[in-house]
Structure 1
Amino acid sequence: MKAVLWDMDGTLVDTEPYWMATEVALAEEYGATWTTEDAKHLVGNSLLYSGEYIRQHMGIPLTPEEIVERLLDGVVERVQHAVPWCPGARELLLGLKAAGVPCALVTMSYQRFVAPILEHLPPETFRVIITGDQVDQGKPHPEPYLTAAAALGVDAADCIAIEDSPTGATSAAAAGCQVLVVPNHVDVPPGERRTFIDSLVGVTPEVLKTLPDRDTAARDLP
């Protein structure tokens, strides 16, 4: 394990309810229909994909780009009031920093949403930050994770990615990472290079080192 690559929404911070509440508010504003299944479908996807999906399914007179900005407005406002850390995530992140293990943030959210969350962490907790507005291909494409590993100067196959969604896990595994899956709001199916755990509570850098290497089939952590 040469580095740890972190997803953000639903993995580091439990902000998926913020996104869902903002989507519902947008639907109510335009008298549109929006279901829980619609919201879950967007978990882990790029914001422009989400904007287009919302435009089509809500039938609202906004471009995908305008919808993304409306979503970001709502979620940034909510996160400025409170940062909902996922159980054990902040502790593991700070433990990795103390142990000298480089970390990267790999999120499909945009920089203006990431910034208020990073304000609550020590400087340079993440040596590299890859956001959705910095890549051409978002998750589930491997580009975000490949970009993060390259920026850290390591091979993606020597990295552990921490994810909570099928889209994110697919992206990380396709890049060659070992993936620690911590399901949150959506189910994640088993797959190559995936190790499952219910929570990051009690997970330490030493525990991460017990994950299978690149040639070992995925298994569950004890």
Structure 2
Amino acid sequence: MAGLLTLLVLAFALSLDSYGVGVTYGLRKVKIPFLSLMLIACCSGVSILVAMLVGKTIFTYLPVEWAEATGAFLLIFIGLFTLWQVYAPAKKTPKPVRKRKENQFNFQLRIFGFVIHVLREPLKADIDDSGSITGREAVLLGAALSLDAFGAGVGAALLGYAPWLLSVCVALMSGLFLMLGMKSGFRFSHIPWVNRLSFLPGVILIMLGIWRF
């Protein structure tokens, strides 16, 4: 029972970013259709599953004590990194001058950089400014929401959590929190505390990591 409870708390922490993103879209009246919502949730679940399978592979090569300590450390590290993302000042960088010829590697780097930028500024995912997140925009948003969760997923696997169960919980909670966040943004945009919950995922991950040391 205690193991299931901590798994649900971990899934809650890994999914709570979706609530903040949903609030941001709700405040700006940006809509996410149901199919896009499902796609984003699936991205989160698949990311956790892949991360945990990687963690399980690592687990086979490490002593149990080392694996658990490494998993706990990863949760603490991801929690600290999440807090840093919340409170670090956004840096404004000048747009680079594009060259006529760019290789595929540079193109991939720009895509990855854009995904990270979406994590900091969710509204950037609405590439065409249509007021709705669809298609590739949903994939980009799903990838952005999965970045932090990937490292935590590896740590969770090292701590012995069940990959399929956690990935399903994260997928369901991500979709639910994203939907609830949008509704909160639409209805409660005048309430200051709505935007002050972004520190919670980091704190919860740190507490879980310390508890499992």
Q: Greater share of helix residues, 1 or 2? A: 2
Fold-level similarity (TM above 0.5) = no
Q: Greater share of strand residues, 1 or 2? A: 1
- Bigger relative CO (Cα 8 Å, ≥ 6 apart): 2
- Please give the range of the TM-score, normalised by the shorter of the 2 chains: under 0.3
Question: What's the TM-score once normalised by structure 2's chain length?
Answer: 0.26
Question: What's the TM-score once normalised by structure 1's chain length?
Answer: 0.25
